[in-house]
């Protein structure tokens, strides 16, 4: 019988399930994709059922179930924190502790009850620590035999940052930073103060930062205020936060707004209100501080481990601007980042820790990595697409020759159309990587505005990523290695860039945004950077073939790639999800497998109520 391990993350945000079979990642998926509730925190019943079915296994076939953290340690941290800050935190205490006493203290019993719904069998349940799960998710799938491991997030049980060393099948924890001192929670506090949602809007803050004016005196003044008042940052990258400014340890909000308003001289921004220049400058200041701390942590990791390569996980590892700058600093020869770096990836790390640490099984690194391009979710077939066609009486064109389809779609993109692209297995992690994507022509001057405002229904300032053929990346970007998971930001090649017009610095945010600063304006951010996905013919031949067709016809080896969803909606999972999203938006064409749908040919879309009410704004 093969060795099968089910990894689970749940009960905080982004719950997920992963199935390992003899050490190979057979399937992985987030629960939100099935329930259509973004960042779903509940037990991942649908995801777990999917990964078991994909492996052809039942619960009774499992060697173990690995849960991504240690509940008793987390409860200990809560009790000690409330005791340490008493009498502050009574409201939070009364909100959280009864849930723990009633349910979470009995996590093993609760997990067994949830697993019973998946079928018969009582496999052993393991509880690796949260940051060990992150570290395992980063190191074990990486292509390195040995590497420094850096994990940075909000908080697990006690740890908020760890530096480890991975060698062969072993992981050694070398340094830990403990709650409440947390770079991830610091960044989340600024996310909240700037009017975005915690655990969801951090990437918006990162995208807003380039609109800040690096020459403005207040940027440096605010950075100094952060270092003087909010935190004490040590040479090794560790930090102590001044908890007089923060509420998250015992309260229901992130920061003490009155103190922050006095420190920075601006009020907390109200969600969905206009974004003015001071918030752009504040976003730039905290982004720069975050980068400086990450660089120090990386240098410490290099000194402690002596390793030439670095792997990363935890929510802060999704800060692809910091990642790109860290790579260019040359502290490490190479860097590999877990594509599901957040809590969803904890399910994978827990399963891998069970195999290599609990079972002691050897590890053989793959030349690229073991993530299979992150294409680890459900796949759908012609029969599934035909059911959608019949249900909605949807006119379409089916292509027997995939090359003909790619040439057709390449032409549609060149005409300025937005095309939904649904192929193969769904991606694992927060990024759409060419199987559940909406595509456009990066050269089109209006494409960024069209995708944000008419299709995604989201804030207009948010940038889009290019998917570029691996072979063409160096011709368009200052990047000398693959970036398959869209986790590295790099500059657009200088010869593709245009000079800025006179008076640029005095322009409003959106006037600056729509300046044509390069020959690929739809994917060039205001600081001449791009969040790059390199596409390999090995890992995604269909997507590569489409971009190749666009390149041969247009001399442009890249396309705009954004996730196939609208604001507040999880990325689409099924053909039905994709068709509904296509019809609800101003998308022009949809490709499901070998089928092409033109919006102009479709019957009127009717559904009860306003579909926007289904999705809470992120």
In a domain, residue 163? The reply is: no
DSSP state of 270: P
Chain segment 259-277, per-residue pLDDT in tens = 999 999 999 999 999 999 9
| Percent share of the chain, pLDDT over 90 | 86
- Confidence class for position 541, pLDDT limits 50, 70, 90: very high
Given this model, what pLDDT does residue 263 score? 98
HEC secondary structure over 6-25: EEEECCCCCCEEEEEECCEE
220 and 114, same domain (yes or no): no
Closest residue by Cα to residue 523 from 552, 539, 547, 541: 547
Closest residue by Cα to residue 128 from 362, 352, 371: 352
Contact 440, 419 (CB under 8 A): yes
Counting the structural domains of the chain, the total is 3
Average pLDDT score over the chain: 95
107 and 46, same domain (yes or no): yes
258 and 291, same domain (yes or no): yes
In a domain, residue 366? The reply is: yes
The CATH number of the domain holding residue 511 is 3.90.870.20
584 and 609, same domain (yes or no): yes
Helix (H) or strand (E) holding 125: strand 124-126
C-alpha span between 64 and 30 (Å, rounded): 20
476 and 598, same domain (yes or no): yes
Helices (H), 306-434: 320-329, 344-353, 382-392, 402-414
- Confidence class for position 86, pLDDT limits 50, 70, 90: confident
Chain segment 8-28, per-residue pLDDT in tens = 999 998 999 999 999 999 999
Residue keyed to tokens 């994990």: 151
146 CB-near residues (< 8 Å, 6+ apart):
165, 166, 167, 168, 307, 309
Contact 349, 133 (CB under 8 A): yes
Residue keyed to tokens 């207040």: 218
C-alpha span between 203 and 199 (Å, rounded): 9
C-alpha span between 546 and 554 (Å, rounded): 12
**pTM, 2 dp:** 0.96
Given this model, what pLDDT does residue 591 score? 98
572 and 462, same domain (yes or no): yes
**Mean predicted confidence (pLDDT) in 327-332:** 97
In a domain, residue 144? The reply is: no
The CATH number of the domain holding residue 64 is 3.30.420.40
A 10 A CB-CB count for 538 gives 11
Q: What are phi and psi of 149, to 5 degrees?
A: -125, 125
- Confidence class for position 607, pLDDT limits 50, 70, 90: confident
Chain segment 433-452, per-residue pLDDT in tens = 999 999 999 999 999 999 99
Given this model, what pLDDT does residue 92 score? 75
40 and 99, same domain (yes or no): yes
In a domain, residue 324? The reply is: yes
Given this model, what pLDDT does residue 609 score? 79
Contact 589, 598 (CB under 8 A): yes
350 and 388, same domain (yes or no): no
C-alpha span between 526 and 207 (Å, rounded): 10
Contact 532, 479 (CB under 8 A): yes
314 and 352, same domain (yes or no): no
* 490 strand-pairing partners: 530
Task: Show the domain range for 584.
Answer: 382-614
242 and 325, same domain (yes or no): yes
Chain segment 284-309, per-residue pLDDT in tens = 999 999 999 999 999 999 999 999 99
Given this model, what pLDDT does residue 590 score? 98
In a domain, residue 172? The reply is: no
In a domain, residue 287? The reply is: yes
DSSP state of 269: P
- Confidence class for position 251, pLDDT limits 50, 70, 90: confident
In a domain, residue 140? The reply is: no
Instruction: Answer with the residue of higher pLDDT: 183 or 80.
Output: 183
- Confidence class for position 464, pLDDT limits 50, 70, 90: very high
HEC secondary structure over 434-450: CCEEEEECCCCCCHHHH
C-alpha span between 75 and 506 (Å, rounded): 51
Contact 54, 19 (CB under 8 A): yes
Structure tokens given for 93: 């205490």
290 and 363, same domain (yes or no): no
In a domain, residue 150? The reply is: no
Given this model, what pLDDT does residue 104 score? 76
Residues in the chain: 618
C-alpha span between 308 and 25 (Å, rounded): 26
113 and 188, same domain (yes or no): no
191 CB-near residues (< 8 Å, 6+ apart):
197, 198, 201, 202, 204, 205, 254
């Amino acid at each position: 019988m093969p060795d099968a391990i089910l990894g689970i993350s749940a009960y905080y945000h982004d719950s997920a399930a992963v199935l390992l079979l003899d050490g190979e990642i057979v399937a992985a998926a987030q629960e939100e994709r099935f329930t259509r509730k973004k960042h779903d925190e509940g037990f991942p019943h649908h995801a777990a059922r999917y990964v078991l079915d994909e492996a052809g296994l039942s619960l009774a076939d499992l060697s173990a179930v690995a849960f991504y953290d240690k509940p008793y340690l987390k409860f200990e941290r809560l009790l000690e924190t409330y005791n340490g800050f008493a009498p502050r935190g009574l409201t939070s205490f009364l909100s959280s502790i009864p849930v723990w006493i009633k349910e979470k203290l009995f996590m093993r019993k609760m997990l067994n009850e949830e697993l019973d719904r998946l079928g018969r069998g009582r496999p052993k349940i393991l509880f690796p620590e949260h940051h060990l799960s992150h570290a395992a998710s980063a190191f074990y799938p990486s292509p390195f035999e040995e590497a420094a491991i850096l994990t940075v997030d909000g908080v697990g049980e006690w740890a908020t940052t760890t530096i480890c060393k991975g060698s062969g099948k072993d992981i050694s924890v070398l340094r830990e930073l403990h709650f409440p001192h947390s770079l991830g929670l610091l960044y989340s506090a600024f996310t909240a103060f700037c009017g975005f949602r915690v655990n969801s809007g951090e990437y918006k803050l990162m995208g807003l930062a380039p609109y800040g004016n690096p020459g403005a005196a207040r940027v440096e003044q605010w950075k100094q205020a952060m270092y003087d008042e909010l935190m004490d940052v040590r040479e090794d990258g560790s930090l102590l936060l001044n908890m007089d400014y923060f509420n998250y340890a015992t309260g229901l909000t992130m920061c003490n707004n009155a103190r922050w308003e006095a420190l920075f001289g601006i009020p907390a921004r109200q969600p969905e209100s206009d974004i003015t220049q001071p918030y752009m400058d504040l976003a730039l200041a905290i982004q720069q501080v975050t980068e400086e701390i990450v660089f120090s942590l990386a240098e410490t990791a290099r000194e402690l481990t002596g390793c030439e390569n670095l792997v990363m996980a935890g929510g802060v590892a999704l800060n692809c601007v910091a990642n790109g700058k860290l790579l260019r600093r040359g502290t490490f020869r190479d860097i590999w980042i877990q594509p599901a770096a957040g809590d969803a990836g904890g399910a994978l790390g827990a399963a891998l820790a069970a195999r290599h640490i609990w079972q002691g099984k050897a590890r053989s690194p793959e030349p690229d990595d073991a993530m299979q391009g992150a294409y680890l979710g459900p796949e759908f077939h012609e029969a599934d697409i035909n059911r959608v066609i019949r249900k909605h009486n949807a006119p379409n064109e089916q292509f027997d020759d995939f090359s003909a389809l790619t040439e057709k779609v390449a032409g549609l993109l060149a005409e300025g159309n937005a095309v939904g692209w649904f192929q193969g297995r769904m991606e694992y992690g927060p990024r759409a990587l060419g199987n559940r994507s909406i595509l456009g022509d990066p050269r089109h001057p209006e494409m960024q505005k069209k995708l944000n405002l008419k299709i995604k229904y989201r804030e207009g300032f948010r940038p889009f990523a290019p998917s570029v053929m691996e072979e063409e990346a160096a011709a368009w970007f200052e990047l000398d290695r693959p970036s398959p998971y869209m986790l590295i930001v790099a500059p657009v090649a200088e010869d593709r860039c245009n000079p800025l017009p006179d008076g640029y610095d005095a322009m409003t945010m959106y006037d600056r945004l729509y300046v044509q600063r390069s020959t690929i304006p739809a994917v060039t951010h205001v600081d001449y950077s791009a969040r790059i996905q390199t596409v390999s013919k090995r890992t995604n031949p269909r997507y590569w073939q489409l971009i190749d067709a666009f390149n041969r016809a247009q001399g442009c080896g890249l396309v705009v790639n954004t996730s196939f969803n609208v604001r507040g909606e999880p990325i689409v999972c099924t053909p039905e999800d994709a068709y509904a999203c296509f019809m609800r938006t101003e998308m022009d064409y949809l490709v499901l497998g070998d089928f092409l749908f033109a919006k102009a040919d479709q019957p009127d879309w009717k559904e009860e109520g306003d579909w926007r009410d289904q999705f809470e704004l992120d």
